[in-house]
Structure 1
């Protein structure tokens, strides 16, 4: 079952085999035996790639639940003495100069934890998608989850100096109507993110580019393609280095909360408990600094 989950997530028998110290053929034979036992085909196979069948997709969800429950059961037996170790799958909305150093410091502190970072801007289901923890903004309504507020952050309107030299610097929010604007689009709803309370609801901003990825928006902004509204901690280094400049710095900003979520459990898995404690202590002061 573990071999199947690894192969499904990595989309490769070869990469799955590397996780277990086995050959790709050994993983393939293991999964073939599993398919014979179940009486269904779990993967479509070709010479170049593998992909899950509909039955495989359904079985993957079940396997994640089973393996998660098994791990939780083991944790309940040994939670009082166990050291943080094993694979820790964390969902992260996007990489940044704020988050990456924190993960690096955590790895130094807990070398026996295998940190598996999933950088994805979509809104994931923590439990159904098999995450140990997820960092996200906004409120939490899922009763299956525990959560802690890491801090607050704001967004800034930014653009490359080359763009502002070419197109001019907006003096008022209304001036944005004459500029090339780079928008964040929410993966789940398809809606564009708002640019803060300084922009009246009646104003429909022009759209030069829309992307579900903040990383893409940062790259396009730095390349001089227009103005973007982005979380400050994601562009702080670019602002300090001069790769980006803040636009309308006196405009009113909306404050958002960043939270860490993890599955509710009577006996938290040691690796999850260690990660929650570390991130809570290290992120709060960093986010407070970024709001200054």
Structure 2
């Protein structure tokens, strides 16, 4: 006997209150329903119903069995709903946490929207490490180390931080020829929006001590502000290359000490443990396909080498 079919008939009898009503709901005869219940009881070795000529009622064992059977039927219904959703394609609201990123990243998000018009994309921009589970996010893009065992992850790519300044700033001060020269320059610094601590610059093996000795001209928790100040000649900034690339290519910014500041920052997609929804899988796959090209380092003519 099909175990699932037997469970389905048992639950329907409980919900309908009689073999006749259950048979009507299932498209079977009352006799067929009764035989199914008898075979189920024989297999289980217990009586599930008290029966008389007028009514049926659950036994103690039947009531206990019903709890488990309802859970099984609910799981089957959920599995069928998931498959139906997969056949229909990704759709519905998708809430994603992303870092403060440049227009190039935003263009990828817009391209995702065009590719999946049935998904209602909700982006929350923040440089802090959000709690996906507690805050109700279905996915996140995160830079740096991953420490939450409740999450699944996929490496998307990596980028580098670069030191940049405007030609107008460098016309007023001698360009740094080595890492030590940075102590004599005005520096535009980023800080962690959660802790308020300054992010160190990638200044070789002794990067922490060197970063602590830099002169702060500006501190902000958004690269857009650092970029604006840097373009206006207010100092040297250290920022993701994808923020500065367009301005380096145009000559508005000059990159310096490239060999001495070699570094990589990992970007990963995160989502809660368990089966992934079609919309979450679609987002992660799309980002993994499109975003790495934006983060790849470029070769520039407008750089100042170390002396």
- Give me the TM-score of the superposition, normalised by structure 2: 0.66
Task: State the distance in 1 between where 2:199 and 2:79 align.
Answer: 41
State the Cα distance separating 1:290 from its structure 2 match: 5.0
Is the 1:93–1:119 contact (alpha carbons within 8 Å) kept by the matching residues of 2? Answer: yes
Partner of residue 249 from structure 1, selected from 227, 234, 258: 258
Task: Tell me whether 1:283 sits opposite 2:283 in the alignment.
Answer: no
Is the 2:105–2:294 contact (alpha carbons within 8 Å) kept by the matching residues of 1? Answer: no
State the Cα distance separating 1:222 from its structure 2 match: 1.4
Q: Which residue of 1 aligns with 2:135?
A: 129
State the Cα distance separating 1:190 from its structure 2 match: 2.1
Partner of residue 202 from structure 1, selected from 203, 209, 220: 209
Partner of residue 155 from structure 1, selected from 161, 165, 185: 161
RMSD: 2.3
State the Cα distance separating 1:196 from its structure 2 match: 0.6
State the Cα distance separating 1:77 from its structure 2 match: 6.2
The structure whose Rg is larger is: 2
The structure carrying a bigger helix percent of its residues is 2
Q: Which residue of 2 aligns with 1:181?
A: 187
The higher-RCO structure (CA 8 Å, 6+ apart) is 1
Q: How does 1:10-49 map to 2 (within 5 A)?
A: none
Task: State the distance in 1 between where 2:85 and 2:280 align.
Answer: 11
Is the 2:90–2:278 contact (alpha carbons within 8 Å) kept by the matching residues of 1? Answer: yes
Is the 2:155–2:267 contact (alpha carbons within 8 Å) kept by the matching residues of 1? Answer: yes
Is the 2:231–2:253 contact (alpha carbons within 8 Å) kept by the matching residues of 1? Answer: yes
Q: How big is each residue's C-alpha offset from its partner over 1:58-80, in whole Å with a ceiling of 9 and x where there is no partner?
A: xxxxxxxxxxxxxx999646443
Q: How does 1:48-87 map to 2 (within 5 A)?
A: 76=82, 78-87=84-93
Task: State the distance in 1 between where 2:120 and 2:294 align.
Answer: 24
Task: State the distance in 2 between where 1:283 and 1:122 align.
Answer: 21
Is the 2:160–2:297 contact (alpha carbons within 8 Å) kept by the matching residues of 1? Answer: no
Q: How big is each residue's C-alpha offset from its partner over 1:212-236, in whole Å with a ceiling of 9 and x where there is no partner?
A: 1122111111121111110111211
The residue matched to 1:88 in structure 2 has which SS?
strand
Total equivalences in the alignment: 220
Partner of residue 145 from structure 2, selected from 108, 119, 139: 139
- Give me the TM-score of the superposition, normalised by structure 1: 0.69
Task: State the distance in 1 between where 2:264 and 2:270 align.
Answer: 19
Q: Which residue of 1 aligns with 2:123?
A: 117
Structure 1 residues 73 and 176, CA, compared in 2 at 3 Å: closer, same or farther? farther
Is the 1:156–1:231 contact (alpha carbons within 8 Å) kept by the matching residues of 2? Answer: yes
Task: State the distance in 2 between where 1:243 and 1:157 align.
Answer: 13
Q: How big is each residue's C-alpha offset from its partner over 1:226-271, in whole Å with a ceiling of 9 and x where there is no partner?
A: 11110111211121122211122332322111111112222x2211
Q: How big is each residue's C-alpha offset from its partner over 1:8-28, in whole Å with a ceiling of 9 and x where there is no partner?
A: xxxxxxxxxxxxxxxxxxxxx
The residue matched to 1:218 in structure 2 has which SS?
helix
State the Cα distance separating 1:167 from its structure 2 match: 2.3
The residue matched to 2:289 in structure 1 has which SS?
helix
Unaligned runs of 5+ residues in structure 2 are 1-77, 301-307
Task: State the distance in 2 between where 1:188 and 1:95 align.
Answer: 17
Structure 1 residues 126 and 74, CA, compared in 2 at 3 Å: closer, same or farther? farther
Partner of residue 234 from structure 2, selected from 225, 242, 260: 225
